[in-house]
Structure 1
Amino acid sequence: MAIASINGVRLFYELTGGGEIPLVLVHGSWDSHHDWDLLVPHLTKSCRVLTYDRRGHSQSERLPGQGSVREDVADLAALIEELRLAPAWIAGNSFGASITLRLAGERPDLLRGLIAHEPPLFSLLGGDAAVAPMLEEIRQRVGAVVERIALGDHAGAAEQFADTVALGPGTWARLPREVRQTMTDNAPTFLDEAQDPEQIVFDLEWVQEFSRPVLLTMGDQSPPTFGPVVRKLAQAMPHAEVRTFPGAGHIPHVTHPDAYAEAILAFVRKYS
């Protein structure tokens, strides 16, 4: 167990592997560094892998008051510098991918390249009449989850999020008990994220000058709102490649860790 004091917050992290390539994994909402447990063993021969609990999640400190995505980006930058991993490859899932993309725009010097899976940057789809009904449906479903957290029903909110927003009907019942408990424990931080006015805001100009390799990924079983976001990013980023994982959804590192690890390692080796 290791703790780093970053931007006034105690962050839990693990650094494993004997490889020469530094690789940082950034988890999404509701989760913890354990979200990557099935993936990390595939990576440690080639990479030195950093996983951590983002502020407000699991073993990292949760501060009172409204948080922001800007703080998550600053934490990621400072942790990379504190552990002397720069420049590093960074892979982010969901909201972790949003954080990674923001960091690429703000501190490209810290990255060798990035892998981003389905960032929920739905502001990029504003004005697109074709996806407007889907976005409104997602907004209502997330709103119902947020209301449930505010009422104190954290387990019910986590189940509702898994089954109706991110992973699909019946997913909650199939998740391991420890994963369900992690999501329940981290529900207050999702409420905090949802109340951040910048949560889903993104300007493509932030990453148009990013010159390092970019792999944008999605699953063909994911909610249909993520594909248009990935395509918007791919059009804006000059060095982006796109890969779709057959049979996978929003968490390929959990459901398809072999294929996801192979994709990461192949991409990293290609540009190392």
Structure 2
Amino acid sequence: MNHATMQDGTSITYRDEPPPLSHSPDQPRTILLLHGLAGHLGEWDALTPGLLTAGFRVVSYDARGHGASTRRPPTVSRAAHVADARTLIQELGLSRVTVLGQSMGGNTAMLLASAHPELVASLILVEAGPGGPNPAVPTQIADWLDSWPTPFTSVAQAETFLGHEAWARGLEERPDGWHPRFDRDTMIATITELTARAYWPEWERLACPTLVVRGGKGALSAEEAAEMLRRRARGTRVVVIRDAGHDVHLDRPDDLLATITGPDARRPTR
């Protein structure tokens, strides 16, 4: 793991993986992976080998307040999350990257591409869109976090409760059991600004090709995806992975990989 220090002192833990030499040109394409709320960079482990084989340099990181990054950063604003992504891209000397974000990470990815089009060649939003506001979400997230029977007695118990092995791997072991690697109040503060308003102006300013991936059983509605197409008909493609929920990258990583790298990925966006 590597670490980068942001302007406000926040430490960001990241992973930077080059493609196999047999698949990589002198300057491989780079894909930056942004996880969702309460997640961690390890969520991308099932997707990463296929991306590397496809010739991508894969960069992922724990968002501020998450995982091994600073647990209680000075701010968790949307602007700070965007600045973290921008700073990491610049510190690694990257240019024109593909940015893939899921849920909260998708919002960060969209805001980055809207504000800094010179940095982003293409955008992939997984279960993320501009819709809102939704002021009930912070309370729903608080209730969900408060329902966790922490400390978990084992990783197996955590996996059963949380529903995904990758979520359980995001926990840390302490003498009394397994705990989240984040602060509850920081998570609620992180989601509060995101759900306070809609982000249609940022969506409409996007200049790069954009792939929107919905889980057929996920939270991004068909109506919102249709509105995304209506407001930005050129440059946008929507794909539905029917058997996936909100965590498409965990439920159907192979289908998501095929959507990103397969023959259909080369079709022109609308």
> TM-score under structure 2 normalisation?
0.79
Structure 1 residue 157 displacement after superposition: 9.0
Pairwise CA RMSD: 2.9
Structure 1 residue 156 displacement after superposition: 4.4
1:106–1:173 distance in 2 versus 1, CA, 3 Å: closer
Within a 5 Å distance, the mapping from 1:1-272 to structure 2 comes to: 1-7=1-7, 8-18=9-19, 19=24, 20-45=28-53, 46-119=55-128, 121-123=130-132, 139=136, 142-146=138-142, 153=146, 155-156=148-149, 172=161, 174-176=163-165, 178-179=168-169, 181=171, 184-188=180-184, 189-194=186-191, 196-223=192-219, 226-237=221-232, 238-266=234-262
Amino acid paired to 2:57: R
Deviates more, 1:262-271 or 1:86-95: 262-271
Structure 1 residue 110 displacement after superposition: 0.5
* Alpha-carbon contact 1:104-1:207 (below 8 Å) kept: no
Deviations 1:174-196 (A, max 9, x none): 432734627833252312213x4
Deviations 1:21-40 (A, max 9, x none): 11001000010000101100
Sequence identity, in percent? 23
Q: Secondary structure at the match of 1:197?
A: helix
Structure 1 residue 52 displacement after superposition: 0.5
1:268–1:23 distance in 2 versus 1, CA, 3 Å: farther
1:121–1:25 distance in 2 versus 1, CA, 3 Å: same
Amino acid paired to 2:96: P
Amino acid paired to 2:78: V
1:158–1:117 distance in 2 versus 1, CA, 3 Å: farther
Q: Secondary structure at the match of 1:54?
A: coil
Partners of 1:253 and 1:207 in 2: CA distance: 22
Q: Which has the higher helix share?
A: 1
Q: In structure 2, what is the equivalent of residue 163 of structure 1?
A: none
Runs of 4+ in 1 over 6 A off after TM superposition: none
* Alpha-carbon contact 1:25-1:90 (below 8 Å) kept: yes
- Structure 1 unmatched ranges of 5 or more: 127-134, 160-169
Partners of 1:76 and 1:264 in 2: CA distance: 21
Partners of 2:162 and 2:86 in 1: CA distance: 36
* Alpha-carbon contact 1:219-1:245 (below 8 Å) kept: yes
Q: Secondary structure at the match of 2:207?
A: coil
* Alpha-carbon contact 2:10-2:73 (below 8 Å) kept: no
Structure 1 residue 172 displacement after superposition: 2.9
Structure 1 residue 219 displacement after superposition: 1.1
Q: Secondary structure at the match of 2:79?
A: helix
> TM-score under structure 1 normalisation?
0.78
